[in-house]
Every structure is written in C-alpha cells, then in structure tokens.
Structure 1
C-alpha cells in the first residue's frame, strides 16, 4: 500500500470526528504558508483533472508543469509553518491521526501530504470550472511563488470578514 493510499485510508476516519468540532482558523500568514506549500501539488492536480477537457492551447496544458516546478522552489521554506497549520487543523478533526502525523519524519509526511492534495483536486474539482481555473492560474503565473501564495492569503483574509474564507478544512481567522 503506497503512502498516498495510507493517508487516504486514515483520512476516511476524519469525517466522523470532524462533525464534532469546528476546525481552528488559520492566521493569514499560516494560510499563505499552506498556499505556498500546496500550490505546486494543487496545480499538478488541476493539470491531471482538467488537462483532458481543456484545449491543447490552454495554459495548464502548455505551461502548468513549468509553473508547478517554479512554485516548488518556495515549498521548503514554507513547510515548517504549513506543517504546523496542517497539524493545527488535524488536531481538532482527529487528535490521534494528527499525533501520528506529527510524529512522522518530514521525509515521510511531505509525500503523503503532496499526494493527497493532488488526488483531492484530481477527484473533486468540477470539470465545468476548469476553464476559469486555467485563466486564473495563467493570470497568477507571472508572480513569484511567494507573491502568489501571499495573494491567496490576502484574498482569503479579505473574505474572512464575511465568514466565507474556507478552503476545505482550512478557514482564515477574521481580522
């Protein structure tokens, strides 16, 4: 059983606990770190999910992997804060699973997180949103990785004022 499969299996236990308590919110800086770490995997998941439905000239098909590689550079610096944010959210959802992940070495945990993000996007992204997502990614592509991640954090922070800032189990604290 691969690491991604193990993570997916463990995470099937999470919804039972997730209904019991609202996950903690993340500060905009934490959300930016999660974004910085997650962007390459999320882009790769979008390529996998949307590629077949997009025209051959679409940004994700022609330049998506190059952008994911460009954003890979910022992942290492973002990992400590992103890991803490992942564990912060996971502790409320399922303390035992979060404790298990917190005890894992980064060399084992990071590939599991990466694979689960690629799979999540690859399975859950509605195909009818691929064209809009392709355009949005193309607009952000010229930005350095750190700026793109901060933009995500700022946008999420702006939305937090009206209670809409949520990305899966991650929500941004109201400022």
Structure 2
C-alpha cells in the first residue's frame, strides 16, 4: 500500500513537470498508442463531467460508456508503446525511474485514474455541447483511427506551442 501511495504521488508530481518541461518528440506509433490507451479513461472522464449538463439525446449520455468500452478492447496491444511514450514524457523527472519499475497493472490503473480525473476536472462545462458533437462524429471510426487522428492534432498543437494540448510533439517518421 505504501508503494502504491508513493507511485500515485510520483505520477502527480510528474504531471506539472510534463506541462513545463521541453516537449518530448514521440514517434507517430508512440503518440498513437498513448492516445489509444488514454481514450477510454478520457471518454469516461468526459462523460462523467458533461453528461449532467447535456440533454437526454446527447451522444455522451446515451453512448459514452459503450464507446469507452469499445475503445478498451485494444488497450493491451497499445500498452507497450503507450508506456514507452509516457515514460519518455517524464524522462529526466526524478519520479520517472520509480514509475518505470512499477508492475504494468499498477501503472495502468494509476494512469487510468489520473487521466479520467484530470479530464473530468479540466473540461469547462460550457464546452460540453461541442465536445459531445465531436465525440459523436468520431465514434463510428475504428478506435485506432480515432487515436491516430487525435495524436496528429495533439502533435500539431505541440509544434505550435499553443493551447493546452502541447504535451508532446510528433517526430517526423
């Protein structure tokens, strides 16, 4: 239990450092895998945050949980590259070595909770309608295509240094 608490603290310590550190250059495969791994938790966090403000006919209220479940199906295939990307993003942080030594199930569980919680806290409620529309438009795509599309957008934002999505840039392949 003490190890779990220390690991949680390390992840929380790494997050502000990720935002302030030089953006790591992730390969397209790392960025896509990291995004694919994070999507189920991000969708769950978005659904929890936005569903109460959306109408009964909204996508997130009617299909958010199902979409998160569908996107979870390939998580184990995406995990090795997602883990490498996450650790690359924290490289140089004193907590990264401890995180790298955690068993994968523990690290995955902590990342899920962190991603879901951060998303649920940071979405402005006035943006929920637009987010619901975007998620509804992306929902028919295969999960890997959605992850690749989102990682391209995050990578482009990282190159411009604009906005809140500048956590990483995508290296040219």
TM-score, normalised with respect to structure 1: 0.84
Partner of 2:51: 51
When residues 155 and 7 of structure 1 are mapped into structure 2, their CA distance, relative to the original with a 3 A threshold, is same
Question: 1:91 is paired with a residue of what secondary structure?
Answer: coil
- Between the aligned partners of 2:38 and 2:46, the Cα distance in structure 1 is 12
Partner of 1:123: 121
Partner of 1:26: 26
- Between the aligned partners of 2:128 and 2:114, the Cα distance in structure 1 is 20
Partner of 2:78: 78
Question: 1:107 is paired with a residue of what secondary structure?
Answer: helix
Partner of 1:98: 96
Partner of 2:151: 153
Q: Pick which of 11-20 and 50-59 moved more.
A: 11-20
When residues 7 and 51 of structure 1 are mapped into structure 2, their CA distance, relative to the original with a 3 A threshold, is farther
- Between the aligned partners of 1:98 and 1:73, the Cα distance in structure 2 is 27
- Between the aligned partners of 2:171 and 2:16, the Cα distance in structure 1 is 24
When residues 48 and 17 of structure 1 are mapped into structure 2, their CA distance, relative to the original with a 3 A threshold, is closer
**Shift of residue 162, structure 1, vs aligned partner:** 4.1
How many residues in Structure 1 have an aligned counterpart in Structure 2?
173
Partner of 2:141: 143
- Between the aligned partners of 1:14 and 1:141, the Cα distance in structure 2 is 31
**Shift of residue 25, structure 1, vs aligned partner:** 2.1
RMSD: 2.8
